[in-house]
Amino acid sequence: EKIREKTKHLKNVKYIYNPFYKVTNSIASLWFARQYLTGDVTILNADIVFDKRLCEEIIIRKFEGAFVLVDSSIKTDGDYNVQIHDDAVTVMSKDLKEYYAEYAGITKLDSCSSKLLLDEVNSMVNKGYYDQWYENALVQMIFMHNFKLKYFDVCDYHWTEVDNVDDLLNAKQIHLTK
């Protein structure tokens, strides 16, 4: 309700509500928004704050295929981590101890990739895996379908995932830096 109130001046905004958010995970929330998983799609986790330069990069840069944004400057204590080989992601997980970068909570898909993700999300939810992160569907696509998931390194940008008070202070600083 607070987000809806703060953004009521924006046009062409669709709000999707997951009534089961307390007992599901992001895959269920994405499933509720499945009708919008067509064409070029950008998926942002709601607790990500980033600077204007990164926002412009996300909007303007032409990404072909599927990309996740990662931060290679984070090599320890990452939240959701990414291992790569050559120019592609090999796995993403909260359980990786050694990894190339932390996932920055942003995924960009072209129309072909968004269709494949939609199919995988539908399959996982239909099998009862609605307690999973939606990113696990991307990992399933890599493992089961040889899906090529590329990455874009955002180590030169300011961003944070807001999980605690320190992150909130960092987000406020990013917001104040124009």
pLDDT category at 178 given cuts 50, 70, 90 is: low
pLDDT (average), residues 122-139: 97
Whole-model pTM: value is: 0.91
As given in the structure block, the two tokens for residue 30 are 């994405």
Average pLDDT for residues 20-38, to the nearest whole number?
A: 95
Task: Retrieve residue 88's tokens.
Answer: 């592609």
Cα(120)–Cα(92) distance, rounded to whole angstroms? Answer: 16
User: Does residue 8 surpass a pLDDT of 90?
Assistant: no
Contacts of 27 (CB under 8 A, 6+ apart): 121, 124, 125, 129, 130, 131, 132, 133, 134, 136, 137
Grade residue 11 by pLDDT with cuts at 50, 70 and 90.
Answer: confident
Domains, in order of start, for the chain: 12-176 (3.90.550.10)
pLDDT digits (tens, 9 = 90+) for 155-172: 999 999 999 999 999 999
Spatial neighbors of 123 by CB under 8 A, at least 6 apart, are: none
Q: Which residues pair with 44 in a beta bridge?
A: 106
Residue 21: pLDDT band (50, 70, 90) is: very high
The average confidence (pLDDT) of the chain is 93
